[in-house]
Copies of this chain bind each other. A is one copy, B any other.
Amino acid sequence: MAKTTRRLEVASPVPADIDIANSVEPLHISQIADDLNLAPQHYDLYGKYKAKVLLSVLDELQGSGDGYYVVVGGITPTPLGEGKSTTTVGLCQALGAFLDKKVVTCLRQPSQGPTFGIKGGAAGGGYSQVIPMDEFNLHLTGDIHAITAANNLLAAAIDTRIFHESTQSDKALLNRLCPPNKEGQRSFSEIMFRRLKKLGISKTKPEELTPEEVKKFARLDIDPDSVTWRRVMDVNDRFLRKITIGQGPEEKGMVRETGFDISVASEIMAVLALTTSLSDMRERLGKMVIGNSKSGDPITADDLGVGGALTVLMKDAINPTLMQTLEGTPVLVHAGPFANIAHGNSSIVADKIALRLVGPGGFVVTEAGFGADIGTEKFMNIKCRYSGLNPQCAIIVATIRALKMHGGGPEVVAGKPLDRAYVTENVPLVEAGCINLARHISNTKAYGVNVVVAVNKFSTDSDAELNAVKAAALSAGAFDAVICTHHAHGGKGAVDLGVAVQKACENVSQPLKFLYPLNVSIKEKIEAIAKSYGASGVEYSEQAEKQIEMYSKQGFSNLPICMAKTQYSFSHTPSQKGAPSGFVLPIRDVRASIGAGFIYPLVGTMSTMPGLPTRPCFYDIDLDTATGRVIGLS
């Protein structure tokens, strides 16, 4: 057993998450770091319980090999969630604190906004949690704040540029962009050479440009209607979903309709999650496309001169944050992109650092957002494609509750009492629902990994029901299927899962097989994914057709695809449970995150800014000013 891990004393019934979290005194994070053989120069402390692990550690550990790479997905969930994060944490507590393995949990950073709205935190649950829970759910080490700042600097740069271009001649623009130095000499700044290169202009001095070149260089000529870049805020502020800006008298009537998304929906979050190094991040941020010129050319952050500044704002955010589980095993928290309009996976750099830190024979367990149809699919086809990393094992988390729903059980609604069907034994209902699990298993197996089913056991589940799931999983091709009680028992409740995962990792030899190659058309890629959902075909709206044509023309057709689809069904219709097939998947629109590196077709409408209910959970949240402790966070 690693020296920092500790055993939990568990109570029954399981106390509230916050009470469990507060009952354990976290270890100083330098102890956790030390246990991972991280030297003090490899990390920066942020208080006593958080540290940023510096990317430079990757260079220093270049020679050593990687550990096993495990991804946690789930079956199609109920609105209550089936415990994917909890299973991810519980499994790692088992591997680290009971099976004596080197292990790192890689998790997404949760959005702060929703913490004050309806949902509780995202630190796991019961005896499988990341602590300190308040620091995990609130500012953490400022990465999302950095994203907000960078996203909004770019937004301000866009509108201000349109404004200044509207009142100045080409020559005046050039003169302002390249002001004279003390000796009266004008010059291009470094970032301007990026735009000159893109325009095919190889001149090195402003005065050498022809009037035509001055126009091309200095006038971005952004089409205001084409601007897709929105502002962001890490607050549930529904009144910012659609707004009109520029109504002040100094903005001279240059009004425009736009809106705010929640910060984690920013493309910069997706860039952070998919980047592999500082220099790669610099390039990705610079090539983010914010809209088009009036002649249809994509306009980038570097065209606006701001790619470098964005990188400066993000320079610390690229370092993952080290935290700990209740049992003292290490956790890297890093990036939290949306699972629909983005790929819903934590960062590549955190996984890379973790794999190197645990080394051969060690384990890195990472979670993929939503069900496996979305999360695991994007993990494989987007994240692993960019990282070059090879997973050995994919877990699929299932619950008897969700399987009963897929078998035809009554609707499950958050905030309403569960129907009796979900708390009394009904083996046929479970068996019928396993059709959903089976398709997730076969889809996931197709990537060449071993699939382990983890049944997250509730106290109302019967042995007969649990056995039915195990049998169905094995007959659908799972490497193993294991019953887990980590919510009630911590790592001890996931020891069997840990053993199964170890065997699964040791018994895989084939490399990752992608669902589609990159060098086919956007439509062919969309159709390959639709087929994995069970669709018989794809239907494109006029708008979708137009966008696909534009992105293809702009040279972006060889990017991977990131489907923005509901998580509540394999299909686009949330009420279609089980394993629907034969439907035609409608593509309403197609958008692109060029810097992050994917095209995202919209299947239905995705909300990118949540709201607050009549009684937000902030009513319960306060600070005990005598102790400095946060109360009421859930």
Contact = CB atoms under 8 A, between A and B. Distances in A.
Interface in A491-527: none
A198 to B, nearest CB: 16
Given A149-B112, A149-B234, A243-B244, A623 B156 contact: no
Contact of A246 (B142, B146, B239): B239
- Of A145, A156, A282, most B-chain CB atoms within 10 Å: A156
Given A142-B139, A159-B239, A305 B46 contact: no
A612 B311 contact: no
A614 interface: yes
A129 to B, nearest CB: 19
A168 interface: yes
What is the total number of copies of this protein in its complex? 2
Interface in A63-117: 112-113, 116
A242 B241 CA distance: 16
B156 A190 contact: no
A632 B160 contact: no
A160 B238 contact: yes
A630 B309 CA distance: 9
A156 B235 contact: yes
Interface string A145-187: 1101100110111011001100010000100111100000000
Contact of A619 (B139, B189, B238): B189
Interface string A124-150: 000000000010001100100110110
A513 to B, nearest CB: 33
B305 A192 contact: no
Q: Which of A116, A173, A177, A630 has the most chain B CB atoms closer than 10 A to its own CB? A: A116
A493 to B, nearest CB: 25
Contact of A146 (B139, B173, B305, B307): B139
Contacts of A145: 139, 142, 145, 148-149
Given A139-B145, A176-B615, A614-B168, A312 B622 contact: yes
B173 A618 contact: no
A26 interface: no
Contact of A625 (B241, B282, B621): B282
Interface residues of A, number: 94
A233 B177 CA distance: 26
A145 B152 CA distance: 13
A239 B235 contact: no
Interface in A211-249: 231, 233-249
B239 A623 contact: no
A206 interface: no
A612 B139 contact: no
A354 B620 CA distance: 35
Interface in A288-308: 305-308
B279 A625 contact: yes
Nearest to A241: B248
A514 to B, nearest CB: 29
A614 B173 contact: yes
B156 A239 contact: yes
A393 to B, nearest CB: 34
Contacts of A238: 156, 159-160, 163, 248, 250-251
Nearest to A142: B142
Interface in A33-48: 44-48
Contact of A176 (B46, B148, B243, B614): B614
Given A308-B632, A628-B278, A612 B157 contact: yes
A156 B257 CA distance: 20
A611 interface: yes
B312 A239 contact: no
Interface string A392-420: 00000000000000000000000000000
Given A242-B247, A243-B243, A316-B139, A623 B149 contact: no
25 contacts: A45-B47, A112-B149, A148-B148, A155-B237, A156-B236, A156-B612, A157-B612, A159-B237, A159-B239, A163-B238, A191-B622, A192-B619, A233-B233, A238-B251, A239-B248, A240-B245, A243-B244, A244-B247, A248-B259, A250-B611, A279-B626, A305-B616, A305-B618, A308-B618, A309-B618
